[in-house]
Structure formats: C-alpha cells, structure tokens
C-alpha cells in the first residue's frame, strides 16, 4: 500500500467519524426539542395542533388524499386554559369537485377536540 492510499483511507476514516458525530449531536437536539414541546401546553405548539387537526379532518373525509390546508386561525376561549382553532381546508366532495370547508377545534393543555366541521 502506497503513501497515497494510506492518506486516502485516513481521510475516509476521519469523514466517517465526523458524520457519526454529527448524527449523535443531531439526535440530542431532536430529543431536547421533543422534551420542550412535551412540557408546553398543546395549544402553544401551533404546528403540532395543525398536524393533529389535519389527521382528525382526514379521518372524516371521503377522499383523505384530497385534503389541502388553507389556513388556521386561533381564538381565545371563554374557558381558562383553552384555545379555539379554526382550520380552513379544501377537499373533494362526492361529485369530485373541491369545496372549501372549516373545522373548529377546542384545545386545552393536553387534548384537541373537534367541535364542528362545516
């Protein structure tokens, strides 16, 4: 094995160590982010609320793959520690055309509930 081959193998080894180190650091950051999200009330993570709402809406659609998110608005509730979210979305109707609809959810510290779908 020549000097050039040894240098090449050494560079590949260092690259592998760097990639593995970055993967471990990335996993630690992901775990920290997950812990932060879990420690907050559910309604403070609007991205998570949006994902849960999407799943709940899709369960009730005739064609779940046709779901298209439009927007989500947050409103204060009259109940302490609760928020109301209104999700506007598009989805296929029974005739194959698209309708714009809204779903209203209540959200407390731990749970998201559908109030209505129009």
The whole-number pLDDT of residue 7 equals 62
Instruction: Output the CA angle 94-60-91, nearest 5 degrees.
Output: 50
- Which residue bears the tokens 């659609």? 61
Domain spans, the chain: 1-39, 42-117
Which segments in the chain show pLDDT lower than 70? 1-9, 11, 13-15, 18-31, 33-39, 41, 43
Distance CA 25, CA 21 (A): 6
The whole-number pLDDT of residue 70 equals 96
Distance CA 84, CA 111 (A): 12
- Which residue bears the tokens 């779903």? 103
The whole-number pLDDT of residue 116 equals 77
């Amino acid at each position: 094995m020549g000097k050039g081959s040894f240098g090449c193998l050494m560079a590949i080894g260092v690259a592998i160590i760097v990639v593995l180190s970055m993967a471990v650091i990335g996993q630690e950051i992901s775990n920290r982010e997950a812990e932060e999200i879990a420690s907050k009330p559910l309604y403070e993570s609007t991205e998570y609320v949006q994902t849960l709402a999407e799943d709940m809406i899709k369960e009730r659609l005739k064609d779940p793959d046709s779901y298209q998110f439009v927007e989500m608005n947050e409103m204060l509730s009259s109940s302490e520690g609760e928020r109301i979210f209104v999700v506007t979305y598009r989805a296929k109707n029974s005739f194959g055309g698209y309708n714009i609809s809204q779903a209203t959810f209540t959200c407390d510290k731990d749970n998201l509930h559908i109030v209505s779908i129009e």
